[in-house]
Structure 1
């Protein structure tokens, strides 16, 4: 008998196979754009950049130019070296805990310019194009300009998101109302919408490079570099800083001014970093460093590595319980030790000895405790642990509806099928897209994009932030600033404390997998604190269970909510677990008997995974994408 249960015959769509190029993303227009670049001779990095700028336009409820991104890639020239594309901006110079507490805050707001880190996504994509792409800025931006200038059919979920915050827009954020409700109403699904402000920004990036002469060593690279300089020091920086300084409503229900300045923009720059890696079942798993949550997946795999395969099948009671308990242990370390410029020793954190200590804590019943490990010499601080009810009782203001990030606890139980539209009141629960949760908070979410080309270049990237409900729209730019600083604490002793010049501990966490010194799998998902949890399920089903990519993505998902939430209002649920009903009554009842406090989310509710695969021996490429919500697509040939 196999250690993993077989996936069954049903999959929502086939795993794509070919040899030319493969793309998977959270929107079909981004996937098709990236594939078009491959067809026109571009490489995987050209394709990813073009697709990413399209995502700014067609998924404005999930990301924007004012947000952030992280990526992991490997080149055909250095296939064994996974590299992090770091597009997470830092806190502005004036973003100090003292200032925020003086504003009457005990948490960084989930919406409003006080929550804005310096936008770094655009600079990161241009850095990738500059160093590893082959196309001109004008060529990769052509697709996004077309959709922003000529219009694109607006998604139902964008309309749902605008409707959820329409009162906020009209009462407090008039520039957002003018941008998203130009006729005084919420747009209708399928209606063509445009973004002339962003068109102007993109054309200015192109124009910045037109003055570059042919006498420089590499004119194309110089033109991309000029576009990066324009983004960081030109009109975008000036107008964004000036507008953010105006007083406006934040998610705590009070009015504040932002602190970001043009100097913060000018001093920020995306970068490349070495990946953090761990070997699991003969595969090298690559993630970000502990300035992001990436190592939490590696820690979980280290705990699971010492267990037999039959303990790792998330489709069984034993496997689901084991996975949930291992995740809680890894996330407790994340919340206690991770942060930018921390002193945590990853060689200890991922060591066999430490993993064995943590593994020994997994019992037959669900733990209701917060249990970080002890790391000698590391500075750690446990976060405040408040349930949703406790946090609500602390507020003496009426918070606005906007704020918070990727949904964790579904608002309503639903069973929408994989290719059906979820009802509006179930959007956050059923699809993983933004929507109003049970607490009334309208949350943002994230995009994802994976590309592999015929030469062996591969990238996994997760753009996010700058959602349309993040903060008021900047009139001359057509977009708003992001809210990633809500992932910091106002406790100076925390390793993820709000600190000028330091990055918030982002949840953006793409994954690259290598075997025998070559990239074989790029994957990721939206979902905030759930991103690594859902990716873990995919990795286990692919690498241990031997399932096909599409079957592994289609399979029932689950995640823990017994972790300190990264998004405002930053709550946790001891013993909480959210599952798709398709996991089966026997498994779900077994989890409840073990003490898990289970929320049943519906049949097709959790995870928006996608992936691309390459077999180095044959050159065969594969791709698969999430069917939930009928939006993600894989394309290729």
Structure 2
């Protein structure tokens, strides 16, 4: 078996930015070299892809704090060589039991804000990483957390991207969030590139979890019981208590104009569990493509594959105006369905069979005008194509639409090992720009609950204990049941738009992996963002500057509102592929 890993950045030289990295036993692709070092150390120590993946998630929570944190989320796909199947790890947050639409409306909120403590749900990362270790790992929590603890305790030299996040939040640190200022502005100043930065409180938090595991083993617990003790220490012990104490007593200003403390209570933590679930999937030209369920945006990629498989893409030729127009119009249709139909399956029926059926896709594809760009948001009716049409929710409607704001980035963790295990995670949330540091713990809570609506009758309406539909999305591909590829990219609402273009570049257009990563991309902001303030730009097509001018002019003539963008900077694509 040959394993290859790739990561694309914005700098493009010829037909590739860098050489393809090949290995015989394992490979990984991540967003930071310190994170990669942690993963390789774990693989060399006898860990498998899941151990390495978990260790790198924890390390990324330290060194990629602008993109993800220990208080955030980590939806993950795993191929288990032992079980010979793909599983989805539901590492999503859940809303506080005190979080009701009426609570926000009574206080004058139009939307759930994107910052402060109000959009915080229960942190998902600790539960998810423990669950993955319990079910699929070979090492203990103390072993996989060692690298993250060393980085937090001993520090690491900060880079320009990290400092960009600090500078963006500097005023808020100084004027509103003194605990964040104490940590990120040592000596009252912004560090310089190359200065060593430490997070001793986070190191202590992680060490406390390691000690909980060690104490359980000393009492005679087996490996599974010791890992369960790690979960309980976070969610049913002093860490949850400290989070709830701090957010309950600390009022924070938010971008909706409020000044409120948080809503989380200890019972929210005690009830929380990460879960293993069946992923959603479709077959496309001989490959099975897997995504997490409709609590993520992931199924839009599957729907778009269904829409596009009826077209002969190679005859249109790669990145011609005809191809790009078809691609953009199919994205609009898939994301319109996401906006109306996706939600937490525990709270609303999501018609999986209907949404992914070829018959429904054919009906939807017929809406595409090959000569004109649509300006409408056009969700479909998948229920006649579903196994349970009687489960249609009553009066399901769309939320309000307004012009779109900017997106956030995140990071990614992709690993494959010699046994054929594969790990594909997109950790995010809990970053330091949108919420204050909890000083005793060195972590930040996520703000993912901004992705709920306050409007009754919407699939994504806020409810206690409900999951928001997150933007986070990873991909995993098998061929005839054998693992082949894990990939994904950051980029908020753009994640699956970029991932799909990479996949089609390889499967339909026969590109090598690095060439497929480096090819210029388009994306649309036609549909409402999952992020506050839930805005949209009808018919907006974002086109990278590296496209020839005649391509962009052709798209304009078709009715697209073209915006020329710099290459997808900061949003790195990460791919690991197994060659049979």
Give the TM-score taking structure 2 as reference length. Answer: 0.93
Cα offsets for 1:426-478 (capped at 9, x unmatched): xxxxxxxxxxxxxxxxxx42110100001100011000001101211111011
Matched, 1:104 2:68: no
SS in 1 for 2:118: helix
In 2, distance between residues paired with 1:82 and 1:521? 12
Is the 8 Å Cα contact of residues 119 and 482 (structure 1) preserved in structure 2?
A: yes
Matched, 1:381 2:388: no
Alignment partner of 2:364 out of 341, 358, 361: 358
In 2, distance between residues paired with 1:267 and 1:120? 12
Is the 8 Å Cα contact of residues 63 and 445 (structure 1) preserved in structure 2?
A: no
C-alpha deviation, 1:157, in angstroms: 1.5
Cα offsets for 1:386-413 (capped at 9, x unmatched): 125xxxxxxxxxxxxxxx8xx44xxxxx
C-alpha deviation, 1:311, in angstroms: 6.1
Aligned equivalent of 1:232: 235
Is the 8 Å Cα contact of residues 15 and 548 (structure 1) preserved in structure 2?
A: no
Matched, 1:582 2:568: no
Alignment partner of 1:459 out of 401, 405, 423: 423
Is the 8 Å Cα contact of residues 501 and 521 (structure 2) preserved in structure 1?
A: yes
Matches within 5 A, 1:103-182: 103-182=107-186
Matches within 5 A, 1:410-559: 444-559=408-523
Structure 1 residue ranges, 4+ long, deviating more than 6 angstroms after superposition: none
Aligned equivalent of 1:36: 41
Cα offsets for 1:127-150 (capped at 9, x unmatched): 111211111211111101111111
Alignment partner of 2:214 out of 210, 213, 221: 210
Q: Indicate how the Cα distance of structure 1 residues 345 and 170 shifts in structure 2: closer, same or farther if over 3 A, else same.
A: same
In 2, distance between residues paired with 1:313 and 1:146? 50
Q: Indicate how the Cα distance of structure 1 residues 268 and 534 shifts in structure 2: closer, same or farther if over 3 A, else same.
A: same
In 2, distance between residues paired with 1:481 and 1:174? 16
C-alpha deviation, 1:8, in angstroms: 10
Aligned equivalent of 1:75: 80
Cα offsets for 1:59-112 (capped at 9, x unmatched): 101010110110001111123x21001110211100110001112101000001
In 1, distance between residues paired with 2:540 and 2:151? 41
Query: Is the deviation greater in 331-340 or in 304-313?
Result: 304-313
Query: Is the deviation greater in 555-564 or in 376-385?
Result: 376-385
In 2, distance between residues paired with 1:483 and 1:215? 38
Q: Indicate how the Cα distance of structure 1 residues 9 and 193 shifts in structure 2: closer, same or farther if over 3 A, else same.
A: closer
Aligned equivalent of 1:21: 26
In 1, distance between residues paired with 2:40 and 2:372? 47
In 1, distance between residues paired with 2:21 and 2:175? 48
Aligned equivalent of 1:564: 528
SS in 1 for 2:368: coil
In 2, distance between residues paired with 1:586 and 1:592? 10
C-alpha deviation, 1:500, in angstroms: 0.6
Aligned equivalent of 1:371: 378
Aligned equivalent of 1:298: 302
SS in 1 for 2:546: helix
Alignment partner of 1:191 out of 190, 195, 201: 195
Alignment partner of 1:286 out of 280, 285, 290: 290
C-alpha deviation, 1:551, in angstroms: 1.2
Matched, 1:48 2:53: yes
C-alpha deviation, 1:586, in angstroms: 1.9
SS in 2 for 1:610: strand
Is the 8 Å Cα contact of residues 314 and 537 (structure 1) preserved in structure 2?
A: no
Aligned equivalent of 1:242: 245
In 1, distance between residues paired with 2:372 and 2:171? 45
C-alpha deviation, 1:603, in angstroms: 4.1
Is the 8 Å Cα contact of residues 91 and 118 (structure 1) preserved in structure 2?
A: yes
Cα offsets for 1:552-605 (capped at 9, x unmatched): 111111110101011111110010111111122121111111111111112454
Is the 8 Å Cα contact of residues 409 and 570 (structure 2) preserved in structure 1?
A: no
Cα offsets for 1:185-234 (capped at 9, x unmatched): 11111110000110110010011012224785x72222211111111112
Aligned equivalent of 1:60: 65
Is the 8 Å Cα contact of residues 48 and 137 (structure 2) preserved in structure 1?
A: yes
Tell me the number of residue pairs that the alignment of Structure 1 and Structure 2 aligns: 556
Is the 8 Å Cα contact of residues 197 and 475 (structure 1) preserved in structure 2?
A: yes
SS in 2 for 1:82: strand
Matches within 5 A, 1:388-427: 388=404, 407-408=406-407
Is the 8 Å Cα contact of residues 65 and 479 (structure 1) preserved in structure 2?
A: yes
Is the 8 Å Cα contact of residues 202 and 442 (structure 2) preserved in structure 1?
A: yes
Give the TM-score taking structure 1 as reference length. Answer: 0.85
In 2, distance between residues paired with 1:131 and 1:23? 21
In 1, distance between residues paired with 2:21 and 2:480? 24
Is the 8 Å Cα contact of residues 83 and 274 (structure 1) preserved in structure 2?
A: yes
